[in-house]
Amino acid sequence: MAQLFFRYGAMASGKSIEILKVAHNYESQGRKVLLLTNALDDRTEIGSIASRIGLQREARAIQAEDDIFAILESTEEFSAVLIDEAQFLTREQVLQLTRIVDELDVPVLTFGLKQDAFNQLFPGSEALLIYADKIEEMKTLCSFCTRKAIMNLRIANGHPVYSGAQIQIGGDEAYMPVCRRHYQNPDLAMIKKHTNAVKGE
């Protein structure tokens, strides 16, 4: 029986490499997967899933107005639907995913952030936490210590940022995975060192 999965984690927890691995596992068994990502994510190129270790492949870029159920219903048969950057889904799109699982009996695996840099749930993540059959945390370490990172610290010009737009696309130059303690009290010297390293300085 198909299920809806939500795998979430802080930045740099391996979400993109995991979705590429899952896609490979399906395809190595001769099964087709529908790979989706969000058109908002333009860190590499729109319509691409890229991991920090250099693996990358094309995916269909979706926007807020797209009906994912209709997309799947109108295309060839797939064994699974895999979605990267699932935090950017709308609540309505998450409900469409439940229809894919319940009516078409196709498993849907989603990967994304749980909350934004100000610790507010993304609409897509909130809906997935409600409707997903299985929820799994993907773990990574805090950028400042050996605790588990559960938050994302936005940085700019070597300093932490605690206000602003919910959605600001960025990678290592803009965010650091952190524990709760270091979200509130980050090491400014380490932020500066991190910023310089990303810039290649």
Q: Which residues are catalytic?
A: 85
Q: Where is the binding site for Zn(2+), in residues? A: 142, 145, 179, 182
What count of other Cβ atoms lies within 10 Å of the Cβ of residue 162? Answer: 12
Helix (H) or strand (E) holding 135: strand 134-138
Q: Where is the binding site for ATP, in residues? A: 9-16, 84-87
3-state secondary structure of 16: helix
Whether the CB-CB separation of 5 and 133 falls below 8 Å is answered with yes
Closest CA to 99 of 138, 68, 133: 68
- Could you give the CA distance from residue 80 to residue 23 in angstroms, rounded to a whole number? 9
Q: Strand ranges (DSSP E) for 53-133? A: 56-58, 60-62, 80-83, 108-112
Q: Where is the binding site for substrate, in residues? A: 167-170, 175
